Amino acid sequence: MGTATFQPVPGGVCAAKGFSAAGVHCGIRRNQSKLDLALIKADVRCAGAGCYTTNKVYGAPITVDREHLADGYAQAILVNSGNANTCAPGGVELARATCELVAKAVGVAPQDVLPASTGVIGQAMELTPFAAGIPAAAARLAATEAAAHDAACAIMTTDTHPKEYAVELTVDGKTCRIGAMAKGSGMIHPNMATMLLFLTTDAQVEPAVLQKALSAVVPATFNQISVDGDTSTNDTVLLLASGLSGVKVEAGTPGYEAFLAALTAVSEHLCRELAADGEGATKLLECTVTGAPDLQTARAVSKSVIHSTLFKAAMFGADANWGRALCAIGYTPGDFDISKTAVRLKSAAGEVFVCENAAHHPYSEEEAARVLKESEIQILVDLGSGSATAKAWGCDLTYDYVKINGDYRT
């Protein structure tokens, strides 16, 4: 059985062979200093996979993505920020028209273009900005770290910084890469968070295997993020595989397991970035549940803790109010004995044991406050009822969250 290793590399969505990217300002957003249109283009037709929002109200681009990925292949991704193209007149027709513009500009088939949008819901969007912006983006396409960065900046809304990551994977002496860019700051809650995420790889993977891998990773990562409890209308995760590394990934092989591990690592890294950049957030919260009777319970409990408004507010105030965490654990569906639950709070400043057997465990409030003043907090929950484990990511709840969302449209 082969061994696999992976390590971070620069380049974002352009780290993998065969991908170029660009980001431009096309006029969807009023602020001319903000890029608002991103384009990713592959040198070859790629195997493709996608996962989308579970919201009954979903953006027009998702309708088109599902149509265009029905055969399992795509070659370009177009993303705009500033307008969600959701619940707007003629949204699907506009999304299809943008695909036609991309096809003409970069020489691919319209059905091989995957559109995505993020921004304000319910506002009509015109084709005019795209008609100017798509040729401009096509002219700037480059397979460089700088071009990938521009694309990552162009998909931001209330994000405070672009989110990019890439790894190089080695399997039995052969290397391939996985690159990614993401946006997400508010309207983040399972299942999948307000999140656009675009992954590229130069591994050689058949569409069905690629979809299997993505569908395995999403429940354990992106569905485990919560910032504010709102499930977005436009959540989209797209993965394209160019195959240009020559590294073949087949289901049921060590290579597939290695690819899955690397894809999970990239996804977990971006989960942390997305949660830490929650609107108004000052702290990243990571809840790790161990000792659960099954995986479903482990995931549900970890999400309950980081989703609790009261607990998130306590973390903002550096208040070790462990009862709020226990309360969130207690109302989580699942068959487990709450009386065995233990809770620890941990950060770079140390660790405090605050709850044992669902009751108070003696600790120093001063020490706890010091631990909770750090920017990354781990909540360690042991249910004592089995061997299943899971993680979830969130952030504290601050005054600035209300300020940001009080005038989002301005």
pLDDT at 195: 80
Residue 123, strand partner residues: none
Structure tokens at 225: 């993020």
Kind and range of the H or E element at 190? none
At residue 182's C-alpha, the angle toward residues 179 and 187, to 5°, is 155
Residue 163 contacts residue 278 (beta carbons within 8 Å): no
- CA separation for the pair 397, 342 (Å, rounded): 24
What pLDDT shows up at residue 172? 77
pLDDT given for residue 188 in this prediction = 43
pLDDT of residue 227: 66
The predicted pLDDT at position 251 comes to 96
Contacts of residue 381, defined as CB under 8 A and 6 or more positions apart, other chains included, come to 287, 288, 289, 290, 301, 302, 305, 325, 329, 341, 342, 343
Give me the pLDDT at residue 160, please: 87
Q: Which helix (H) or strand (E) holds 100?
A: helix 91-106
Number of residues that make up the chain: 410
Q: What is the pLDDT of residue 159?
A: 87
Rounded Cα gap, residues 161 and 273, in angstroms: 10
Which one, of 332, 345, 337, lies nearest residue 383 by Cα?
337
**Active site (catalytic) residues:** 194
In terms of Cα–Cα distance, which of 156, 196, 179 is closest to 23? Answer: 156
For residue 150, the Cα-to-chain-centroid distance in whole angstroms is 18
List average pLDDT for each run of 10 residues in the chain, which is 410 residues long.
Answer: 77 98 96 94 98 83 96 98 91 97 98 94 93 98 98 92 96 92 64 72 98 95 73 80 97 95 96 86 95 97 94 96 97 94 98 98 98 98 97 91 65
Domains of the chain: 4-276 (3.60.70.12), 284-406 (3.10.20.340)
Which positions ≥6 away from 146 have C-beta within 8 Å? none
Considering only CA atoms, give the Rg of the chain: 22
